[in-house]
Amino acid sequence: MNPRTILHRTFAACIAVVGLIAAGWASADPPSRVARLSYTQGVVSFSPAGDDDWVQARLNRPLVRGDRLWTDNDARAELQIGVGAVRLAEYTSVSLLDISNRITQFQLAQGTLSVRVRHLRRGEAVEIATPNLAFAIERPGEYRIAVDPRGEATTIVVRSGQGQVFGDGVAYELRDQEAVRFYGSNLADPEFLAFDAPDPFERWAGGREQRVDRAIAARYVAPEVIGYEDLDAHGSWRSVEGYGTVWTPRAVAADWAPYSTGHWSWIEPYGWTWVDDAPWGFAPYHYGRWAHIRGSWSWVPGPRSVQPVYAPALVAFVGGSNFRVSISSGPATSGIAWFPLAPGEVYRPAYNVTPDYFRNVNVSNTVVSNTYITNVYNQTNVTEVNYRNREVSNAITAVPAVAFAQSQPVQKVAVPVNREAISRAQVMTSLAAVAPTPMSMTGGAPPAAQKPAVDVLRRTAVVRQAPPPPVAPLAPAPQRLEAQQQVPGRAPERAPVAVRPATPAPAPNVKVVGTETPKPMPMRSRERDEGRSSTAPG
């Protein structure tokens, strides 16, 4: 029987036991984009998709559909989203409703956002859903959206660009240098405001944006690669024959290797995901490849002309059910090891994907032929690949499986690598045969000091485009892992979530509007309200 058929039947039986898979969802490719938590100041709290627990937010965490953030008193945060950035002021509650190549959709339940959209492809949308309206950004530009603490009014300032506002039975066009406050979901009697100078929050956001405008890295990477603006301050670019332009990090230890300073976290629908500790540690770990050149590690970005596809970790795992590692405090224990993929080596997702996705996640991140990619996709035995980085000194990082599953800091729990054991161990490609735990979902982060009020989390999100259904709260990890191990290296069908969170998150309260054609703002409101402040609380 074909290995794919065996895996499909095994996993289908597991899903039938719990009866949780959504119709049509298992065969869909995962989003090719995520958001990145790229900056925090003060108390910033995070709740992962499908979970109602709140923990301290950690830099470089990839955010996916259903994730939530809260900034407390005098706190700020920044999310990089590929097409731009979303920045949070204090006392702001944000949820990521959807993210893909088609739409980036946030719910703003309370607080203030500064949204900078740098580019939009044809048919692409950025939408902010508030308790009383949906704001669809139509053009690149700079926008400020604020929701008052009671959730009764939304203020929108278009510093540059253009957007559309949708409410119950009404829609308006907002143009460059307009500032309007809307009350209620019917948007009756909108209030025009003075176009004030940027306040301290917006000036901070503008300063962050200047880093992007000055980035040398923009010459060498695709515009949608998340995190490239952090590379210039922490490394240098050079041209290397056979590789093109590469980036080499500064201030790393002599025995340092990629994917060795951070932790692993379980993030659906991708599974095991690398979260790095370095301030530059996003783009080089989710795009491109790593090469060991003249005694040092360098990151080789993918082709600049190809739209990038995010990957949870571009590594090959080493191990299997019989792989053991030695620890100083006791006998050998079950372990897992990995090393970075080199340029031209094919990444095999540990989640079920179509041939198109398999091709795109590779051709966007390295130079490799479509024919070779197709051959690898159809190959059942992937252990014969000659991985170049596997033979590099210190390239392989190993940890006990328990530490891996608990999202412990790799730098603290890494164990010496026995080269003989590694040479005998099976290369699992991107499949880490370790079952996740509830701690894996939060990345081992400590509980949050603050979180939004319950009534804020329960507020309606008025949307123009209905988001996908929320992430389901459970699916049995041991059975899923068993299904994965039927054919090592071959991706299983995707389940909604792999572990049961302590408290499942409630489904978002969504109200769909937006069938009306947007019209210009009423002139009588503009004339009446001239001179009112746009930066006053919503």
Q: Encode pLDDT of 270-289 as tens digits.
A: 999 999 999 999 999 999 99
The stretch 40-46 carries a mean pLDDT of: 98
**Any idea what the Cα angle at residue 166 is, between residues 138 and 527, rounded to 5°?**
90
Per-residue tokens: 528: 């009446």
The stretch 498-513 carries a mean pLDDT of: 66
pLDDT value at 491 more than 60: no
- Give the pLDDT of residue 330: 59
Query: CATH number of the domain at 35-208+510-529, please?
Result: 2.60.120.1440
Work out whether strand 125-129 and strand 103-117 pair parallel, antiparallel, or are unpaired: parallel
CB 183 within 8 Å of CB 164? no
206 pLDDT band (50/70/90 cuts)?
very high
Mapping DSSP to helix (H, G, I), strand (E, B) and coil, where does residue 17 land? helix
Q: Higher confidence at residue 468 or residue 524?
A: 468
385 pLDDT band (50/70/90 cuts)?
confident
List Cα–Cα distances, 109 to 174, 323, 332, in angstroms.
Answer: 21, 48, 50
List Cα–Cα distances, 34 to 87, 215, 308, in angstroms.
Answer: 16, 21, 11
CATH 2.60.120.1440 residue ranges of the chain are 35-208+510-529
22 pLDDT band (50/70/90 cuts)?
very low
CB 90 within 8 Å of CB 74? yes
Give the number of C-alpha atoms closer than 13 A to the C-alpha of residue 272, restricted to the C-beta side. 30
Average pLDDT, the chain: 86
Per-residue tokens: 366: 């390295």
The stretch 511-523 carries a mean pLDDT of: 90
CB 117 within 8 Å of CB 143? yes
d(CA 374, CA 427): 20
Q: Higher confidence at residue 331 or residue 178?
A: 178
Q: Which residues of 200-215 are buried (b: 16+ CB within 10 A; e: fewer)?
A: ebbebbbebbeebeeb
381 pLDDT band (50/70/90 cuts)?
low
pTM of the shown model = 0.88
pLDDT value at 535 more than 80: no
The stretch 333-357 carries a mean pLDDT of: 94
Query: Picking from 20-24, 38-42, 224-228, 422-426, which range would have the lowest pLDDT averaged per residue?
Result: 20-24
pLDDT value at 14 more than 50: no
pLDDT value at 47 more than 60: yes
The stretch 462-489 carries a mean pLDDT of: 61
pLDDT digits (tens, 9 = 90+) for 389-403: 999 999 999 999 999
pLDDT value at 362 more than 50: yes
pLDDT value at 224 more than 50: yes
Helices (H), 339-430: 355-363, 370-378, 401-405, 410-413, 419-424
The stretch 153-171 carries a mean pLDDT of: 97
The stretch 79-85 carries a mean pLDDT of: 97
168 pLDDT band (50/70/90 cuts)?
very high
Q: What are phi and psi of 440, to 5 degrees?
A: -65, -30
